[in-house]
Amino acid sequence: MRAAVEGAIHPDALILSAPMLCIQTGGLPLSVNHIFARFMVWMGGGERQAWKVSEKPMSAIRLRAKILTHDADRYADELAWWEKRPGVKLGPPSWHWIERAIASIRLLDEPGTLENMQIPTLLMATSADQLVSTRRIMSDAKRLPHSETLLFGREAAHELLREADGVRDKCITAMNRFMDINAPKK
């Protein structure tokens, strides 16, 4: 989203799946999370992992699959890649990454930032997302002058395109329709 609103990219249309327009903040204001992340970087902990395991703070690695997808085979495929190529396993983010991510999120808060973007945008999300804020995705969609949303409930976790076929198929159908309308083949 940042690249599009800043004019770094100029696509005919944009499709975002569970975009990180805001992270789950554990009930604290985003600004408090940002202050803490900046403090950790300032204290020299910028390259240190922000938490021990998984994508979500305080979640056990055994719960990771449930946070990401309901499709056991697609999740197992990721684990197979980790075994085959250990370098693709990213692990938890660093405090520097967290600080920069929140700074990026806060830039999108600026009045006129999203309101002036003219690129047709499809935002796909799930209300059951435990990593990004679905509330923020839906409110930002209202700020975009040319946006559509595809919202799922408990049947979908964060990684919509790695979900069970029912969800994944709806995403692909919506994406194809959106692109046919907004970026037809020339």
135 pLDDT band (50/70/90 cuts)? very high
Domains recognised in the chain with CATH numbers: 2-182 (3.40.50.1820)
User: Which of the two residues, 145 and 34, has the higher pLDDT score?
Assistant: 145
pLDDT above 60 (res 23) = yes
Q: Tens of pLDDT along 53-73? A: 555 444 455 677 788 888 888
What is residue 43's predicted lDDT score, i.e. its pLDDT?
86
What is residue 142's predicted lDDT score, i.e. its pLDDT?
97
CA distances from 11 to 18, 39, 98, 145, 150 (A): 19, 37, 27, 16, 20
User: Which of the two residues, 62 and 102, has the higher pLDDT score?
Assistant: 102
Q: Quote the mean pLDDT of the chain.
A: 88
Mean pLDDT of 20-42: 86
What is residue 58's predicted lDDT score, i.e. its pLDDT?
46
User: Which of the two residues, 25 and 147, has the higher pLDDT score?
Assistant: 147
Mean pLDDT of 67-96: 81
42-58 b/e (C-beta count within 10 Å ≥ 16 → b): eeeebeeebbebbbbee
